[in-house]
């Protein structure tokens, strides 16, 4: 099942370390099947508050997403970003082809 690493970056101090992080991040994805789906971009807030830049990276599954995040290659550059920004980050599993919102009821009612 496809999984997504999602981050919301705020208070970015754009300088040499962030530039280096951006130059190196693509290579960290190569062995894990990761690919950018969203990387910043314009957005429209429909409800609540949303600030910062949104990043979404798709992986073949949650295990690959976690392996990427824990990999020496990514850990080697992570501090370049975390020292110069505030972020929230999660890994979340996607849903299968044909999934419908009402399918959530099956799980909720079974519990």
Parse the chain into domains and list their residue ranges.
3-110
57, with CB counted inside 10 A (0-12, 13-18, 19+), is: buried
Six token digits for residue 108: 């909720």
Assigned architecture for domain 3-110: 2-Layer Sandwich (3.30)
**Could you give the residue ranges of the DSSP H alpha helices within 41-88?**
62-70, 72-82
Percentage above 90 pLDDT, the chain? 86
**pLDDT level of residue 110 (50, 70, 90 thresholds):** confident
Q: How far apart are CA 103 and CA 96, in angstroms?
A: 11
Lowest-pLDDT range of 37-46, 48-57, 93-102: 93-102
How close are the terminal C-alpha atoms of the chain, in Å?
Answer: 22
Model confidence pTM above 0.85 = yes
Q: How far apart are CA 23 and CA 16, in angstroms?
A: 10
Q: How far apart are CA 105 and CA 99, in angstroms?
A: 12
């Amino acid at each position: 099942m496809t999984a997504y690493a999602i981050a919301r970056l705020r208070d970015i101090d754009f300088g040499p370390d962030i530039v280096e992080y951006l130059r190196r991040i693509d290579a960290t994805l190569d062995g894990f099947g990761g690919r950018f789906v969203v990387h910043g971009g314009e957005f429209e807030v429909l409800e609540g508050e949303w600030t910062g830049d949104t990043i979404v990276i798709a992986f073949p599954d949650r295990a690959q997403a976690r392996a990427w995040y824990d990999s020496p290659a990514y850990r080697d550059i992570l501090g370049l970003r975390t020292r110069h920004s505030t972020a929230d980050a999660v890994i979340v599993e996607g849903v299968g082809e044909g999934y419908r919102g009402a399918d959530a009821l099956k799980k909720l009612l079974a519990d």
